[in-house]
Structure 1
Amino acid sequence: MHPPLEPSQSTDLAREPKMLQPTVFWRIADAIPRRLSWLLMSISILLPLLLWWLGSTWIASSPDANSLFLPTPIRVWEAFLRLWSDGTLQNDIAYSLFRVLSGFLLAAIIAIPLGLLMGSFASVRSLLEPIIGIVRYMPAPAFIPLLILYFGLGEVPKILLIFIGTLFFNTLMVMDAVKFVPKDLIETTYTLGGRRLQVLLQVISPYTLPSIIDACRVNMAASWNLVIVAELVAASEGLGKRISIAQRFLRTDEIFAGLIVIGLIGLAIDLLFRLLLRLSCRWAN
């Protein structure tokens, strides 16, 4: 028989940390096997499609339900082919993409340098942060009447709406990214003879580039939301206008087709941002 443990020994054993059970699915801040990753991504797409198909099929077979409110995937696919065959969908995609990219790029050209300056210099931050903090809480769609009043019904108000809706959020997100640059890194650069412009261009800008790309990814979704709102109000072309026309004539299959196209375009743009991050910021991967 083993001798009984002293009270102090039993207390030490009780205080020993328990080992975590090995797991693959619930890993914290760690990668999972590639096969499991692809499986989970497939489930995230196929499961909603399956539920949609089951729900729409049940509604179509029920005498008390109206299939108009939830078209089957086949009907949506047929609506997509119908819009694609006559060139309507391609035209709408081109107009919406042009508006989104124009407004977003115009905002990024201003927001990124402005955010870097506000994050780097407390004087610039004190000068601009209060007014930006006020304007960013104003809903961008609320500017639509003024934009139409000032610029008419052409492309300018739609592009400016996206510009207004993304400029201030992009600026503040870039400014916050600069705050995480280590102060020791900046002081070391000064010690080695670096100047302010060199610190800004060769230290702060490269360090914050991954965060800048992530901020652009986030705000690109806001750009798509705004262009759809703008096209619903005042447009003759675009995916938002196509959805509005379909709603007017109760063509729910075309509404679903338009929404899916918007989602696929957004996914493609998001993947392009991830590719840009992987190619331009290899040290951050």
Structure 2
Amino acid sequence: MAESRSELLPGARSLSTLAGVSAPQQALNPPIWTVRGTLSKRLYRLIAVTSFALLLGAWWAVAASGAVDPLFLPGPVAVAEQAYQWATQDNLLADTGISIYRVMAGFALSAVMAVPLGLYIGAYRPVRAFFEPLMEFSRYLPAVAFVPLVLLWAGIGESSKIALIWLGTFFQMVLMISEDVSRVPMSQIEAARTLGATNGEIVHKVLLRSAMPGMFDTLRLTLGFAWTYLVVAELVAADSGLGYAILQAQRFLQTDRIFVGIITIGLIGLVTDQSLRFLHRRLFPWAKK
């Protein structure tokens, strides 16, 4: 008999009613500017391609305007020509291959050591108390400062370059993985104890499996750190690789070659990151992001 509050107070009507969209329909198709809303894959890709196109267009416009000396900012055409020359005459593929090997070797060494250590730091308070201050201290030490020591300890071969990439990624990776393990809900641990699980079973069957999606994301992020340390690693008596080529180009003021090296590293990183994102969705479909 009495009218509802929304009928009595027009200002109380929902936004979905004002927009002519029912609440169930709005829940199925939320607007794209909703906080943590959704985008279709097609629209996401369109926006992503647009961002790259705008960046390329701005670069071309600034270079073509003549406002900046080409020595400091070569245009996209000059960079493309240099990329072709490097690929056909100066072994761009070989430089790319050796850099990928160094990054992946240093990253794999970090992961093999950091995953079990981070797991136990996140699981046991005494282990956390012993290792966490050391890791926190070590992660602030600049990897480049270790170049003289690495040369003394590992020589000038591939091991020194891999060691520097390891130094740049290991300590960060340990702490991030331990945080992934710490975020596993206590209710899962208590449920496992109620069912009679031992500490070892809780660590390997509850903590590890629950933290795997987060740990995989941590590995994906720290792989990016590994690429940032590539140039530092190839400072160490290198005669090949993208980082070495960039440093050589700097000496001879070959700015277009520097751009080619940087863009190549960025493209490799982008492809690797998107591949790991795809793998994450396949391995952990319940942890959609």
Structure 2 length-normalised TM: 0.87
The answer to whether the Cα contact below 8 Å between 2:106 and 2:162 also exists between their aligned partners in 1 is: yes
- SS of 1:224's equivalent in the other structure is helix
Name the aligned partner's letter for residue 27 of structure 1: T
Give a deviation string over 1:43-68, Cα, whole Å, max 9, x none. Answer: 11100000111111112xx7xx5322
Alignment of 1:120-199 (within 5 A): 120-199=123-202
Q: CA deviation at 1:29?
A: 1.6
The answer to whether 1:103 aligns with 2:110 is: no
The answer to whether the Cα contact below 8 Å between 2:213 and 2:287 also exists between their aligned partners in 1 is: yes
Q: Distance in 2 between matches of 1:189 and 1:141?
A: 45
Name the aligned partner's letter for residue 36 of structure 2: A
Cα distance change, pair 15–100 in 1 and its aligned pair in 2 (3 A): same
Name the aligned partner's letter for residue 48 of structure 2: M
Q: CA deviation at 1:258?
A: 0.7
The answer to whether the Cα contact below 8 Å between 2:32 and 2:38 also exists between their aligned partners in 1 is: no
Q: Distance in 2 between matches of 1:38 and 1:214?
A: 21
Name the aligned partner's letter for residue 31 of structure 1: T
- Correspondent of 1:48 among 50, 55, 63: 55
Name the aligned partner's letter for residue 171 of structure 1: V
Let me know the Cα RMSD of the aligned residues.
2.1
Give a deviation string over 1:220-273, Cα, whole Å, max 9, x none. Answer: 111111111121353111101111111111111111111110000000110121
Cα distance change, pair 52–193 in 1 and its aligned pair in 2 (3 A): same
- Correspondent of 2:86 among 75, 78, 83: 83
- SS of 1:282's equivalent in the other structure is coil
Give a deviation string over 1:21-74, Cα, whole Å, max 9, x none. Answer: 877342212212333212211111100000111111112xx7xx5322211111
Cα distance change, pair 17–176 in 1 and its aligned pair in 2 (3 A): farther
Alignment of 1:203-214 (within 5 A): 203-214=206-217
Tell me what 1:4 maps to: none
Name the aligned partner's letter for residue 32 of structure 1: L
Cα distance change, pair 17–207 in 1 and its aligned pair in 2 (3 A): farther
Q: CA deviation at 1:277?
A: 0.8
Name the aligned partner's letter for residue 184 of structure 1: S
The answer to whether 1:119 aligns with 2:125 is: no
Q: Percent identity?
A: 38
Cα distance change, pair 193–15 in 1 and its aligned pair in 2 (3 A): farther
- SS of 2:235's equivalent in the other structure is helix
- SS of 1:284's equivalent in the other structure is coil
Q: CA deviation at 1:119?
A: 0.3
Q: Distance in 1 between matches of 2:198 and 2:13?
A: 50
Q: Distance in 2 between matches of 1:234 and 1:91?
A: 17
Tell me what 1:261 maps to: 264
Cα distance change, pair 13–180 in 1 and its aligned pair in 2 (3 A): farther
Aligned length: 271
Name the aligned partner's letter for residue 56 of structure 1: A
Name the aligned partner's letter for residue 46 of structure 2: L
Name the aligned partner's letter for residue 208 of structure 2: S
Tell me what 1:73 maps to: 76
Give a deviation string over 1:152-210, Cα, whole Å, max 9, x none. Answer: 21111110111111111111101111111111111111111222222111111111111
The answer to whether 1:220 aligns with 2:227 is: no
Structure 1 length-normalised TM: 0.89
Q: CA deviation at 1:13?
A: 6.2
Tell me what 1:38 maps to: 45
Tell me what 1:243 maps to: 246
Name the aligned partner's letter for residue 125 of structure 2: A
In structure 2, runs of 5+ residues without a counterpart are 20-29
Q: Distance in 1 between matches of 2:199 and 2:209?
A: 15
Q: CA deviation at 1:131?
A: 1.3
